[in-house]
A and B are shown apart, each in its own frame.
Chain A
Amino acid sequence: MILIVDALNKDKFHSVLDDMFRLRARVFAGRLGWDVTITDGREEDQFDALDPGYVIGLDEEGNVVACARALQTTGPHMLSDVFHSILDGEPPLRSATLWESTRFCVDTERLGRGRMRGSVSHATSELMLGAVEYAMRSGISDVITVIDPVMDRVLKRSGNAPYDYVGKTVSMGKVAALAALLDCTEERAASIRAHAGIEGDVFLTDEEALALPVIAAAEARTTTAGLRKSPLEAYCDEQIAAATTAKERVDALRLKAALADRVRSHSDISA
């Protein structure tokens, strides 16, 4: 399941972003050996201060299992400011309908093998699909993505092959990095879905994500004041907590999402 976090909703998801920065530290500094700065076990750079859009893959408990970061190419982004060696002295592409995607990674420790839900392969495909569909619904037509050759092969065998590359492959720590172009089209989304067997909406609403157990518990710990829940919200959360099967929990989550406006409007009044 995919959650989009940006400047407008990040205050609700401190723990999710924290998990994401820790995952990035394990992947980019650890596994890939990129020259990135780690502070308190978190990999965070100057572009994270620019309010990017994060596409975050969550497992059913609410753990962060995959993530990617999107920035507009009209403003400061990595290919213009940091990865210019890839462009071989050429100025970067700049377009209103072109986004840059960076820091794509998947938690290979937490996830299993195979292709079912809960596998590295499934989480990778779901994140790719989330990124393409997030871009599409934002009126974006193409994405330029900075990846390593391993990721390039993963894209190709996931029904998500780049249609072209920009610049050249350069050395980046233990591995090389290159810039690939991907169109954000129904065809590409369908191809990723067909490859991974993903059906239906992959996006979580903020309310659905907040109800996932790991996130709910973490946010409850960090919220010191903690607004009192409305009886309706408390009932919804009880149903979610009492669910014994995945289907029951999804149904309970749907119920809460369907009632989100009433749950929300009550807390607005009481706030």
Chain B
Amino acid sequence: MSDAFDRGGLIDLAELPDASADFDGFLFDLRDRFGLDHVAYAGMNPINRSVVGHVTYPDEWKLHYAQRGFQRIDPTLHRARRSIAPVDWTRLERDKDYLAVFNEARDFGISDQGVTIPVRGPYGDVGGLSLTSSGPRTDWTALCRQNLHLWQALAVHVHDLVISSDSFSNLLRGPSLSSREREILQWTAEGKSQQDIADILVISHRTVEVHLRSARHKLYALTTAQAVGRAISMSLIYPG
């Protein structure tokens, strides 16, 4: 099976010996947390243009997808990632590529009600997190509206983890925190709340928040506590 994936230029992370991060578990958690049918991540290496994928789809569909070489035409990969905004699949043109993939997906019980959140990295690396649900349309619309901002953050998180697990990208990527981001993280490490920090630095609460969010992303952290821990371990700030 891994043979089939490699031949198609599609690498299943679970098959890689060095996949230390539990991407599978992360995507399954995501699926269950939001009551989705499936969650899929695909990233493209800008150097050799190979597709790195990780999905909650059943093995039969993964195998079929790879054997048919769908990663070369799948519009949720190639069309959707060129948007800057999340792409609801109703926006994708029903062309022959779309029909080729989704007519067969339907036979495997895969819904074409979905959204792809495109991710762009700083080195020309691109990716996308796709989420699907076969529930009623109105529920789906409400779910998207309510959670898109979270999914945006999670999409970039998964993308950064996957890309940074690649040794080439690792060399390029050291977290480059601005002095304001470091300053705010330092005060956080001292146990100050966001409002305290805003008062101390005489800036708005929102400015503290936007810098913290940026710092979290640069440190591949989902929570502020994680970001503080990592910043300390990398000697970017001092322990509080």
User: Could you tell me which A residues sit within 8 Å of B by CB distance?
Assistant: 4, 6-8, 50-53, 70-76, 80, 87, 90-99, 134, 137-142, 163-164, 181, 183, 268
Contacts and interface: CB of A to CB of B under 8 A. Distances in A.
B84 A51 contact: yes
A51 B213 CA distance: 25
A8 B150 CA distance: 23
Contact of A140 (B120, B149, B176): B149
B82 interface: yes
B82 A7 contact: yes
A181 B205 CA distance: 12
Nearest to A93: B214
Nearest to A70: B84
B83 interface: yes
6 contacts: A6-B84, A8-B83, A95-B210, A97-B153, A138-B84, A163-B204
Contacts of B178: 87, 90-93
Contacts of B92: 8
A138 B217 contact: no
Interface of B: 79-80, 82-87, 91-92, 94, 117, 119-122, 124, 126, 145, 147-153, 155-157, 176-180, 203-204, 206-207, 210-211, 213-214, 217-218
A77 to B, nearest CB: 9
A61 B147 CA distance: 37
Nearest to B210: A142
Contact of A268 (B91, B94, B214): B94
Given A90-B180, A93-B210, A96-B156, A164 B204 contact: yes
A94 B218 contact: yes
Contacts of B121: 74-75
A74 B173 CA distance: 13
A97 B120 contact: no
A95 B217 contact: yes
Given A91-B178, A140-B149, 20 more contacts: A6-B82, A8-B80, A8-B92, A52-B84, A72-B84, A74-B121, A75-B126, A91-B176, A92-B178, A95-B214, A95-B217, A96-B119, A96-B152, A97-B213, A99-B84, A134-B85, A138-B85, A140-B152, A164-B206, A181-B210
A53 B177 CA distance: 27
Nearest to B216: A95
Contacts of A4: 85
Contact of B145 (A8, A72, A137): A137
B83 A53 contact: yes
A101 to B, nearest CB: 11
Contacts of B213: 95, 97-98, 141
List the 5 closest pairs (A to B, CB-CB), nearest first.
A75-B120, A139-B148, A7-B82, A96-B156, A138-B85
B211 A93 contact: yes
Contacts of B155: 96
Nearest to B149: A139
Contacts of A76: 120, 122, 124
Which residue, of B84, B124, B206, has the highest number of chain A Cβ atoms within 10 A?
Answer: B84
A29 B164 CA distance: 40
Contacts of B124: 76
A51 B121 CA distance: 14
A50 B122 CA distance: 12
Nearest to B208: A164
A216 B92 CA distance: 22
Given A70-B84, A90-B179, A139-B86, A75 B217 contact: no
Contacts of A71: 84
Contacts of B80: 8
B208 to A, nearest CB: 10
Nearest to B151: A139
A94 to B, nearest CB: 5
Given A91-B177, A181-B206, A181-B210, A53 B91 contact: no
A55 B85 CA distance: 12
Nearest to B87: A8
A53 B85 contact: yes
Nearest to B178: A90
A97 B148 CA distance: 10
A71 B145 CA distance: 21
A166 B44 CA distance: 32
B79 A74 contact: no
A149 B86 CA distance: 32
A94 B145 CA distance: 23
A191 to B, nearest CB: 15
Contacts of A142: 206, 210
